[in-house]
Structure 1
């Protein structure tokens, strides 16, 4: 069931004048309702305005874009970075940029639609075994056409993060990897740098990471990370030049809120550990070590939680014909009392 709210859903939400605990969404660090974070954001809006709709190729340019991209590049561990207005747009820029005669597209299981581009050379796979077999055939039959493998770093079934077992089985030295790290950037990896360094150590032919900055960093923007030459080629496209950039106030906040991010990541780690410690059993859930999301497919569990005034993420995704996606999400904004209430309800089933 869909509920309409009149304010941002924090750890508590009001539905028909009744109070519910909320364990859903993607505000992993609880930044959107944090007063200190809001104050930094507001100060940046005063300086940079509410929006900047000009092309990044305009003759008038705002320096915070280059500053923020250099900052993000260093944080993630890539040679270069470009920012866009959303993670979805970032994924589409990469897919369009690689859509050339010298590339074939291969989609790993559960890859997000942000990376989707329907071409005659696109293939999607439900298992890494079938993906591996198809890649070996492709490399043998079309050695000149470089395979591009698209995947989500965190796709909630545990196929990828944190161990990337399926990915490691592929002939990585012969592949371009495009990784959507929307659910990792800002919350996992060293200093919230996501999975770039981890996957780079697997030595693929080329690595491109993209994703949303809204989930982990709490500001509306997207980014692409990769080599200087790749980022430069994407930056030179009409796709990039013709799209409005992220708000400069958003990107400035990324830099200025560094200490808040650090504190919130520690709190998120504590809250996730606290949840697992006080839950009698994790058998009902599919989860990844180091990530605060706990997925399940039991629709009765949704009803049970709601009857106990707890709402979690639950809807059919990405379209109405898809299976029900249900997920308990622990955030840095939850208190111990919030989490204990959730655990007591789950333990009482």
Structure 2
């Protein structure tokens, strides 16, 4: 573990040495983008650094409704509601489902934002499908992450397409998809809706694709209004209005970075010669692996990647190469050349 004194960009400095950095979740590199920061600062002057009042207060800021309509239009949902974090957004959905006594089925590795520490997640998709078939006409809820980092979900969701969903609510954490995957960063909502589930609810962090500290929930007008009527929503402080406003104001910057990211991703996939080392979702800029020797080899050759136990110290090591819009073509080719020289035996 290395401690830094500034936000990591395409490079990090450790022990006086510069390393190329292919980790983290700043997929578009917005957090350090000067034009994006300038818009954020202007919005801070207008809206302040934060807003501690309830969204149900008699004094309201119109920017919340404006940005929520904007995000709903991008994603393709009837409505959107924002929260102060993606984790809180997921917990709001989880508590709502628990209070309404829904039968919950958790796909393997579903993010803890949609559960609690006692939640039993299935070890395999097959095991979950087997249990689902025992309740053909009963109302049930399937919870999953859009990006599972093993390539089983996004972009095709093969196993979901084989299940009748007319009695099923889909709850999907699209934190690693919103702003990154789909047309204009729309994520998976439209595709999942095409599977005709009884209900569809998508939650996410806006910190990964959009570079700001906030979360969001997308769904039908009926579902979103029911979630707005909860104590958690009414009692919690909202996301900083300046942050949300910047998403809309920076549309041109975000679109430009989305194009750069896809160009970098294409360059990497065309030039890396050992794709069997990785598990990945086609079109997503993350490449997971479980070879500790590769991590050490990359670091020895001046490249740092994501490598830590997640979400607790008792869990398995998560090793991941992350391509971002910050990287130059030279960075990508250096990474590919280094990986291609690695001997996996």
TM-score range, shorter chain: over 0.9
Report deviation, 1:281. 2.4
Q: Which residue of 2 aligns with 1:132?
A: 129
Q: Find 1:148's aligned residue among 138, 141, 151.
A: 141
- Unpaired runs of 5+ residues, structure 2, are none
Distance 1:250 1:195 in 2: 23
Please, what TM-score do these two structures have when normalized by structure 1?
0.96
Distance 1:345 1:40 in 2: 38
Distance 2:144 2:311 in 1: 16
Q: Which residue of 2 aligns with 1:344?
A: 337
Distance 2:172 2:148 in 1: 11
Matches within 5 A, 1:1-349: 2-117=1-116, 123-139=120-136, 143=138, 146-349=139-342
Distance 1:234 1:76 in 2: 18
Report deviation, 1:287. 1.1
Report deviation, 1:39. 0.8
Distance 1:281 1:163, change over 3 A: same
Distance 1:280 1:301 in 2: 14
Contact kept, 8 Å, 2:90 with 2:113, in 1: the verdict is yes
Distance 1:135 1:278 in 2: 41
Distance 1:205 1:25 in 2: 35
Distance 2:54 2:265 in 1: 41
Report deviation, 1:171. 2.5
Q: Which runs of 4+ in 1 moved over 3 A?
A: none
> Cα deviation per residue 1:144-172 (whole Å; 9 max; x = unaligned)?
xx211100000101110011012222221
Aligned-residue RMSD, C-alpha: 1.2
Report deviation, 1:318. 1.2
Report deviation, 1:190. 1.2
Any idea what SS the aligned residue of 2:293 has? helix
Any idea what SS the aligned residue of 1:151 has? strand
Distance 2:21 2:121 in 1: 34
Contact kept, 8 Å, 1:308 with 1:345, in 2: the verdict is yes
Report deviation, 1:131. 1.1
